[in-house]
Amino acid sequence: MPSISRDEVAHLARLARLAVTDDELDLFAGQLDVILQSVATVGDIATADIPPTSHAVPLTNVFREDVVRPSLGQQQALAGAPAAEDGRFRVPRILGEEA
C-alpha cells in the first residue's frame, strides 16, 4: 500500500500554495511515495530515549548592541515589488467577495 495517495498530494500542494497540474499530481504521487518510504527508515533507530537535535550549535538568546543603523529606504524596499502604488506594495484582493 502506498504511504501517500494522490489525494493527499493534492492536499499538500494546496497547503503549500502550489497550483499543481493533474499531470504533476500523477508524477509527484509516485515519487513522493518512493521518497517517503525510503526516508521512513529513520524510525528504525530513533528510540524514545534519544533527545532530538534541532540545531548543531546550541545557542540561546543571542543579542547584539541596540544601535540605530541604516536600513533600506522606501524606494529601495519597493524596487523589486511586482506592483507598487503610492509608496506601498500593491497586492491582489485578500478577502472574498462575500466577506
Partner 1 sequence: MSSLIRSTAAELAAKIAGREVSAVEVAQAHLDRIAEVDGAVNAFLHVDTEGALAAAKKVDDDLAAGQAPASPLAGVPLALKDVFATEGVPTTCGSKILEGWVPPYDATVTRRLREAGVVILGKTNMDEFAMGSSTENSAYGPTRNPWDLDRIPGGSGGGSSASLAAFQAPLAIGTDTGGSIRQPGAVTGTVGVKPTYGGVSRYGLVAFSSSLDQGGPCARTVLDAALLHEVIGGHDPLDSTSINAPVPPVVAAAREGANGDLTGVKVGVVTQFSGDGYQAGVLRSFEAAVAQLKQLGAEIVEVSCPSFDYALPAYYLIAPSEASSNLARFDAMRYGLRVGDDSTRSAEEVMSLTREAGFGPEVKRRIMIGTYALSSGYYDAYYGSAQKVRTLITRDFEKAFASVDVLVSPTTPTTAFRIGERANDPIAMYKADLCTIPANLAGTPAMSVPSGLSDEDGLPVGLQIMAPALQEHRMYRVAAAYEAARGTVYQDVPELAVAR
Q: Is 39 among the residues that bind partner 1 (CB under 8 A)?
A: yes
36 near partner 1 (CB under 8 A): yes
All three cell numbers of 97, joined, read 467577495
| Burial annotation 66-80 (CB, 10 A radius, 16+ → b, else e) | eeeeeeeeeeeebee
Q: Is 1 in the site for partner 1 (CB under 8 A)?
A: no
Residue type, 53: T
- Interacting residues with partner 1 between 3 and 22 (CB under 8 A): 4, 8-9, 12-21
Is the four-CA dihedral 13, 14, 17, 22 of positive or negative sign? Answer: positive
User: Residues 42 to 81: which contact partner 1 by CB under 8 A?
Assistant: 42-47, 50-57, 59, 62, 64-65, 72, 76-77, 79-81
Cell of 11: 492536499
Q: DSSP secondary-structure letter at 84?
A: E
Residues that bind partner 1 (CB under 8 A): 4, 8-9, 12-21, 24, 27-28, 31-32, 34-36, 38-47, 50-57, 59, 62, 64-65, 72, 76-77, 79-83, 89, 91-94, 96
